[in-house]
Amino acid sequence: MFTEEKILSLTLEQKVGLVLLPTLRPNASKRFIEEFFAGVEPGGVFLFQGTSAEYRQTIETITNLFGRKMLFATDLESGAGRMIIDKGSLPVQMALGAAGDKELVYRAASVTARDAMDVGINWNFSPVADVAYNLANPIVSTRSFCKTEDVVAEMVVAAVKGMQEHGMLATAKHFPGDGVDDRDQHLVLTENNFSYEQWLVKSGYPFIKAIEAGVSTIMIGHLAAPQLEAHFGSKEQRLPSSVSPTIITKLLRETLGFTGLVITDALDMRGVLSVMERDTAMIAAFNAGADMLLFAQPKRDSKLFINAVNDGLITENRLNEAVERVVRLYKHSDELVANKKDISPSWSTAETVSRDITKKSVRVCRGKHFEPLNFAKGKKVLSMQFRSEQVYNANHFNSLLIKSGATVLSYTEKDARELLMHNNLEEFDAVILSFIFTPHWGINQIRPAGVYLRPLLHFLNKQLPNVIGISFGSPTIENDLGNFPTFINAFSPDTVTQERVYELLDTGR
């Protein structure tokens, strides 16, 4: 590990490596990994989606390659299964917000930490501390706990404690707060335009509480905050926070007193690259106060930073400051592991916690007194799902309908005109329309849109009493479309949520 003697003896190349956080797919071969790092020893590694076996093998390969413990990070906002595909998933953060129980948030975070650490992940880029002020925002939406800052703050604190008390580093993101406008940082520079006084009690409040709770790290977003810049005397109007000395150093460090590690969001996002080219952004983010750079490229960026130090673009003091924070994070990780609590046997699995969440979060928001459908042999159901992306779907819900013995006709948005071709829709016991619109990078869609809306709206105008709408994602669908005799907000497309919705429709409870 990093002893005082070893820290003092670090070369420039080693110091530069420690501020880089590159990404890998867990199915990478040993040869690829060795060639990818090319002798550069990074501060940590972010792993994309894969199986537990792939995670363990890759982590072992990298650890053996560098001969020391490493920081291994990933995005587990909704359980370990979000990235480690054979682990348990959880409902999204907004489902937890709808459940309104911070103890459930703590339990969810605890189980996530346990399941992720089982394969070697010790750093979670979660919780999302953004407030969902604008539910039309295509990248925050259900990733946020809710649209009320004090509730978000309370649940962010519970998530941080749940993770860190069970051995895992937590990250509050995306400072100084996304979710205000209706755009995606992956595609364009977005904006938080609250004044400083507003920000302290709005977007800033969950981050302030996360800092008070001892959150290990904070991730900086690629969004402009012109009024915050102005408050500290800066004239910048379109500077991404990820490269802003005002936001990172003056606001986060000096004003809020955050002493932990600051990491950028991914540095391949248009929120920053639409403003400046990549190499400039890397150096600007580091000089602004970011200690680690996400989506770094080991060989290329090591050379970039070594040259920047030698050319005076980065000072040795700034590099040493960042390296010290990286080293402190390693020590902090060791302390969390040494002092971690055991998981309570009464909620030892992600499935157990998910069921407790969905009992409180899944709700009938229109047609509260609908008759239970009692799915069984002889029942006729038409089930159509509308998706923003095929990977997020209601296939499990459909499989439960089929398993019940009911006769099920199943369609997707691609078959929307089929709705109009059925002149005998009244003969179905239920016409179920499932909407799966969840925030996902780069698709810019959080509500139904496209030519399939025309036949859908024609169908809804028939105002048939046997129509049931379900949102396994954005809570705004009913407001976007209306005309549903019965509508259920479920918030999340995970399998346990789909099972809870089926149970509710089947039994009425």
Three-state DSSP at 57 gives: helix
Nearest Cα residue to 244 out of 268, 228, 266: 228
**Residue 403 CB contacts under 8 Å (≥ 6 apart), including other chains:** none
Strands 486-489, 363-366: parallel, antiparallel or unpaired by DSSP? Answer: antiparallel
Residue tagged active-site, from 265, 356, 494, 506: 265
Q: How close are the terminal C-alpha atoms of the chain, in Å?
A: 54
Residue type, 148: T
- Residue 334 a catalytic site member: no
| Cα–Cα distance, 147 to 462 (Å, whole number) | 34
Handedness of CA 254, 257, 259, 262 (dihedral sign): negative
In this structure, is the dihedral angle defined by the CA atoms of residues 209, 212, 218 and 220, taken in order, positive or negative? positive
440 Rama class: left (phi>0) / alpha (psi -120 to 50) / beta: beta
- Rounded CA-CA distance 477/366 in Å is 12
Alpha helices in 266-363 (DSSP H): 270-273, 278-288, 298-310, 316-338, 350-361
Cis check: omega of the bond before 176, within 30 degrees of 0:
yes
CA 81/CA 72 separation, integer angstroms: 16
Q: State the catalytic residues.
A: 265
